[in-house]
Structure 1
Amino acid sequence: MLVLDQLSKSYGGRTVLSNLSHSFRPGEFVAIMGESGVGKSTLLNIIAGLDTPDSGQVLVDGAPMSALDDAAATRLRRSRMGFIFQAFHVLPHLTLRQNVALPLLLNRDPLERADQMLDAVGLGGRGADFPRQLSGGELQRVAIARALVHRPALLLADEPTGNLDPETAAGILALLRQETRLSGAGAIMVTHSHAAAAMADQILILSHSGLKLA
Structure 2
Amino acid sequence: MSPAAPPALECRSLHKAYTGSRIVLDGLDFALGAGEFVAIMGDSGVGKSTLLNLIAGLESADSGDVLIDSTPISRLTDDAATRLRRQKLGFVFQAFHVLPHLTLAQNVAVPLLLNGMPPARALEMLAAVGLHGRGDDLPRQLSGGELQRVAIARALVHRPRLILADEPTGNLDPQTAHEVLALLRAEAKASGAATMLVTHSEAAAAFADRVLILADGALHAAPLAPLASLKAARDA
Q: Normalising by structure 1, what TM-score?
A: 0.89
Say which one has the larger Rg.
2
Name the counterpart of 2:61: 53
Name the counterpart of 1:9: 16
Name the counterpart of 1:71: 79
Name the counterpart of 1:165: 173
Give distance in 1, aligned partners of 2:30 and 2:112: 31
- Contact 2:10 2:31 survives alignment (8 Å): yes
Structure 1 unaligned segments of length 5 or more: list them. Answer: none
CA deviation string 1:112-169 (max 9, x = no partner): 3322333344444433333344454443332222112222111111111112222222
Aligned-pair distance for 1:107? Answer: 2.1
Name the counterpart of 1:27: 35
Name the counterpart of 1:192: 200
For 1:77, give the aligned amino acid: R
Aligned-residue sequence identity (percent) comes to 67
For 2:201, give the aligned amino acid: S
Give distance in 1, aligned partners of 2:25 and 2:176: 33
Q: Secondary structure at the match of 1:5?
A: strand
Aligned-pair distance for 1:101? Answer: 0.8
Please say if 1:212 is aligned against 2:212: no
Q: Secondary structure at the match of 2:183?
A: helix
Name the counterpart of 2:50: 42
Give distance in 1, aligned partners of 2:163 and 2:14: 20
Q: CA, structure 1 residues 149+207, in 2 after alignment: closer, same or farther (shift >3 Å)?
A: same
Name the counterpart of 2:121: 113
For 1:114, give the aligned amino acid: A
For 1:37, give the aligned amino acid: G
- Where in structure 2 are the equivalents of 1:69-148 lying within 5 Å? 69-148=77-156
For 2:182, give the aligned amino acid: A
Q: CA RMSD in A?
A: 2.0
For 1:155, give the aligned amino acid: I
Aligned-pair distance for 1:60? Answer: 2.1
Equivalent in 169, 177, 181 of residue 185 of structure 2: 177
For 1:110, give the aligned amino acid: P
Give distance in 2, aligned partners of 1:129 and 1:204: 38
CA deviation string 1:8-38 (max 9, x = no partner): 2233334332222222223211011111111
Give distance in 2, aligned partners of 1:164 and 1:124: 22
Q: Secondary structure at the match of 1:87?
A: coil
CA deviation string 1:40-87 (max 9, x = no partner): 111111101122112222122333112211221111111111011233
Q: Secondary structure at the match of 1:157?
A: strand
For 2:67, give the aligned amino acid: L
For 1:82, give the aligned amino acid: G
Aligned-pair distance for 1:178? Answer: 1.8
Structure 2 unaligned segments of length 5 or more: list them. Answer: 1-6, 223-236
Bigger mean CA offset, 186-195 vs 12-21: 12-21
For 1:7, give the aligned amino acid: L
Give distance in 1, aligned partners of 2:121 and 2:170: 25
Give distance in 1, aligned partners of 2:153 and 2:66: 26
